[in-house]
Chain A
C-alpha cells in the first residue's frame, strides 16, 4: 500500500460558487489563519478531520464534496459489491 494518499479538494471551486469568497473570510469562518487555508487549497497541507468538517460546514456541503482521495475512489469503484451493482 502507498504511504501517502492523493487528497484533492474543491475549495477554490466552492469559494467561487460562494460569491468568490475570499481566503481570508473562509479562514475567519473556519477559525484558522489565511496561510492555512492557502496551504490546504494548494494541497500542501492535509487538515485535521475537525478542520475539514469546519470547512465543509462553511460551504454547507458534505465533507466528501470538499475533499476526495483518488485511491479511495478507485478502491470504492473496485469493490466487488459496487462492480456487481454496476453489471446488474
Chain B
C-alpha cells in the first residue's frame, strides 16, 4: 500500500471518529432532555466547534502520520546513508497528475452526498420537521461525503 492510500485510510478513520463522537454527544444531550431539536443555536454552535476540532485534528494527525511514515521508511532503509533515505522518503510522497486527477474525481462524491443531504433536509423542513433535524442531516451528509471521498480514492487507486 502506498502513501496516498495510507493517507486516505487515516482520513477515513478521523472522519468516522469525529462523526461518531458528534452524534453520540448530540444523542446523549437529546436523551438527557438538555436540548430539543428546535434549539437551532445549540446545534449551530456544536457543529462549529466540531468543524474546528475536525480541522485541527485532521492537520495534527496528518502531520503525525507524515512523520511516522518517514520514520518507517528510514527504518526500512537504515543501512543506507541519510541522503539516500531522504531521497527515498521524498520519492514515496511525491504527488503527481494521477493523484490530482483522483482527488478531483473523488471530490465529486462529497459534493453529491452533501447536496443530497441538503435536499433531504429541506424536504423534511418543508414537512414541518424541526430545524435541528435539517441541520443534523446536512452535517451527517457532509461527514459521510468526506468518508465517501476517501473510500472512492482508495477504489480509484486500486482500479486505475
A residues neighboring B (CB under 8 Å): 24, 27-28, 31-36, 39, 44-45, 47-48, 51
Task: Tell me whether A36 and B91 are in contact (CB under 8 A).
Answer: no
Question: CB within 8 Å of A: which of B87-128?
Answer: 91-92, 94-99
* Alpha-carbon gap, A39 to B99, bound state (A): 12
Complex: chain B residue closest to A27, CB-CB: B91
Partner pick for B2 among A28, A33, A47, A48, CB 8 A cutoff? A33
Given contact pairs A39-B160, A45-B160, A32 touches B98 in the complex (Cβ within 8 A): yes
- Asked whether, in the complex, the Cβ of A31 is within 8 Å of the Cβ of B96, the reply is yes
A-B residue pairs in contact (CB < 8 Å), sample of 24? A27-B91, A27-B94, A28-B91, A31-B94, A31-B96, A32-B94, A32-B96, A32-B98, A33-B4, A33-B92, A33-B95, A33-B96, A33-B99, A34-B91, A35-B2, A35-B98, A36-B96, A36-B97, A36-B98, A39-B98, A44-B160, A45-B98, A48-B97, A51-B96
Residue from B91, B97, B157 within 8 A of A47 (CB atoms):
B97
| Residue contact A35 to B157, C-beta cutoff 8 Å | yes
Contact of B97 among A24, A28, A32, A44 (CB under 8 A): A32
Given contact pairs A39-B160, A45-B160, A51 touches B91 in the complex (Cβ within 8 A): no
B45 at the interface (CB under 8 A from A): no
CA–CA, A28 and B94, complex, Å = 9
C-alpha spacing A35/B157, complex, angstroms: 9
| Cβ of B27 to closest chain A Cβ, rounded Å | 41
In the assembly, what is the distance between CA of A34 and CA of B157, in Å? 13
Shortest Cβ distance from residue B7 to the other chain A in the assembled complex, whole angstroms: 13
State the Cβ distance, A65 to closest chain B Cβ, in Å. Answer: 22
Q: Is B159 an interface residue (CB 8 A)?
A: yes
Known: A35-B98, A39-B160, A51-B96. 16 other contacts (CB 8 A): A27-B94, A32-B94, A32-B97, A32-B98, A33-B4, A33-B91, A33-B92, A33-B94, A33-B95, A35-B2, A35-B4, A36-B96, A36-B98, A45-B160, A47-B98, A48-B97
Q: Which residues does chain B contribute within 8 Å of A47, judged by CB atoms?
A: 97-98
| Contacting residues, chain A, for B2 (C-beta < 8 A) | 33, 35
Q: How far is the CB of A77 from chain B (nearest CB, A)?
A: 31
Q: Which residues does chain A contribute within 8 Å of B160, judged by CB atoms?
A: 39, 44-45
* Docked CA distance A27–B95 (Å): 12
